[in-house]
Amino acid sequence: MKDKNEKICIIGAGPAGLSAGMYLEKKGYFNYQILERNDHVGGKCNSPRFNGRRYEMGAIMGVPSYYAVHDVEEFAGITHNGPKLNRNYKNAKGDIIDPFNPKKNPLKIPQLLKMKSQVKRLGQLLETKYKGYDVNGHRGVAEGRYDGYAVTPGREKVSGVNENLKDLCLPFDEFCKRNGVDLIKDIWIGPFTAFGYGYFDEIPAAYVLKYLDFQTTMNFVKVNLWTWQDGTQSIWEALNDKLKNHARLNSDITKVERKDGKVYVTVNGAVEEYDDVIITAPLQYMPTYFDATDEEKELFSKIDYERYDVLAFTTRPGDHPEISYYIFDNMTPETYGHLMVYYRRWHDDKSQMLTTYAIRNHQGKPEIPYEKCKEMVLDDLKTMHNPADKIHNEHSWYYFPHVDSETYASGWYDKVEGMQGQKNTYYAGEVMAFGDMDEVAEYSRELVDRFF
């Protein structure tokens, strides 16, 4: 337990940084400061305004198993009061399909029944063979153990040894093949690859299953979703407003020096002194402004990320889609760069902003240039019979920082976790958990619980 008067610097006012401030307050720490380089909070929970309503450029939804987000709602006095979302499916030719309906796909009934059986089998395997798979964070997985908060309403602290967890280091493709559940990928791919988290032949199973644990996936399947009237960014704006110490925006940090048991942060040209620093900003770039150690430089150089592009556009009224669409044909490694999903948020407005999502990189393949990917997406919208009339906003995110299977299996996470607290520094944010708002908030909760 630290001195409650210690001065703590939190770098980044996304979900991880703001949640860290909230959980510190809950433990009686009020001498903290959150520094944010942008002019707004929320990070990739980004909800700009258009015609009096907010649309989503980043995170879109949550589910009832987002327990840390619910902590934030309760603390900030808000709730999930947004529009009810639904979706349909198209093939690469733009035809509407119903891939999971046996009545519409009589020739696929044997495969659909087999898929249903494999989903049930995976659920059983995750409860037994892979007990501990869903604990927040990655500490111990490469060593065959688990230690952290369980994904349950009570979120009890659990720990144990399970050698089978080493299988989570494998790419998800290989994990499914090893367990005879290849067909479940057709279900998991929608809320994974379409949401910008890469392809199953390259991403370690740990990331897939810690984010899409069984109950979370079933919530997505059943369209049991949470949304927020003023967008996901409003969650973090409300939290920031409720915190004793609001995030300081437009804070340009150019140097962080750790010496003599203190942390010296140069922000907007002035040096500020702190006792501890919690980094929730991308660790990949930490060595560019920190006095990084050789170990920090080496470990953080292993981080990769997805080039996930979002376009916000309007259509002519006659071209407006009646619902959101997923295009499974475009979620394969062979079709990277193509439109995977496009969202319609409001049910009553044909002039609203729609958003498209595409990934333009794959491990071992050349990165597709931004403008080329944009052109592919616009062409795909024409094929989908919903051509864009005007583009209003666009962004290419630094998205889902992660390490590859080999690096994961070599114990990358245990090495980074072993550095927690050294040089008065704590590591949090996306790469330490997973690149969604609930996982990073939950990781901040555990970090504060462990070290403060």
Residue with the bigger pLDDT between 430 and 348: it is 430
Distance of alpha carbon 247 from alpha carbon 40, whole angstroms: 9
The model carries a pTM of 0.96
Write out the H or E segment, with its range, that includes residue 239: helix 233-242
**Which of 281, 305, 309 is closest to 198 using CA atoms?**
305
**CB of 415 closer than 8 Å to CB of 299:** yes
Show Cβ contacts of residue 51 under 8 Å, excluding neighbours closer than 6 positions: 349, 351, 352, 353
**What is the model's pLDDT at position 153?**
87
Instruction: Quickly state the pLDDT bin for 151 (edges 50, 70, 90).
Output: confident
**What is the model's pLDDT at position 107?**
87
Among 101-115, 167-181, 198-212, which is the least confidently predicted range?
Answer: 101-115
356-402 confidence digits (pLDDT tens): 999 999 999 999 999 999 999 999 999 999 999 999 999 999 999 99
**What is the model's pLDDT at position 360?**
97
First to last CA, the chain: 5
**What is the model's pLDDT at position 370?**
98
Distance of alpha carbon 263 from alpha carbon 17, whole angstroms: 17
329-345 confidence digits (pLDDT tens): 999 999 999 999 999 99
Q: Tell me how far CA of residue 165 lies from CA of 274, 305, 403, 443, in angstroms.
A: 38, 24, 17, 19
**Which of 259, 270, 206 is closest to 33 using CA atoms?**
270
Say which DSSP state 51 is in.
T
pLDDT at residue 57 tops 80: yes
pLDDT at residue 304 tops 80: yes
Residues of each domain in the chain carrying CATH 1.10.405.20: 100-221
**CB of 423 closer than 8 Å to CB of 196:** no
Residues of each domain in the chain carrying CATH 3.30.70.1990: 305-401
**What is the model's pLDDT at position 257?**
98
Tokens of 412: 């990358």
275-298 confidence digits (pLDDT tens): 999 999 999 999 999 999 999 999
- The CATH code of domain 305-401 reads 3.30.70.1990
**CB of 185 closer than 8 Å to CB of 172:** yes
Q: Which amino acid, 157?
A: K
- The CATH code of domain 8-45+62-77+229-303+404-451 reads 3.50.50.60
pLDDT at residue 1 tops 80: no
User: Is residue 210 classed as helix, strand or coil in its secondary structure?
Assistant: helix
* Count of other CB atoms within 10 angstroms of residue 25: 17
**Which of 102, 168, 105 is closest to 133 using CA atoms?**
168
Say which DSSP state 350 is in.
T
231-265 confidence digits (pLDDT tens): 999 999 999 999 999 999 999 999 999 999 999 99
Distance of alpha carbon 313 from alpha carbon 343, whole angstroms: 10
Mean pLDDT of the chain: 97
Tokens of 203: 């991403």
Q: How many residues in the chain?
A: 452
- The CATH code of domain 100-221 reads 1.10.405.20
Say which DSSP state 85 is in.
P
Residues of each domain in the chain carrying CATH 3.50.50.60: 8-45+62-77+229-303+404-451
Report the percent of the chain where pLDDT is more than 70.
100
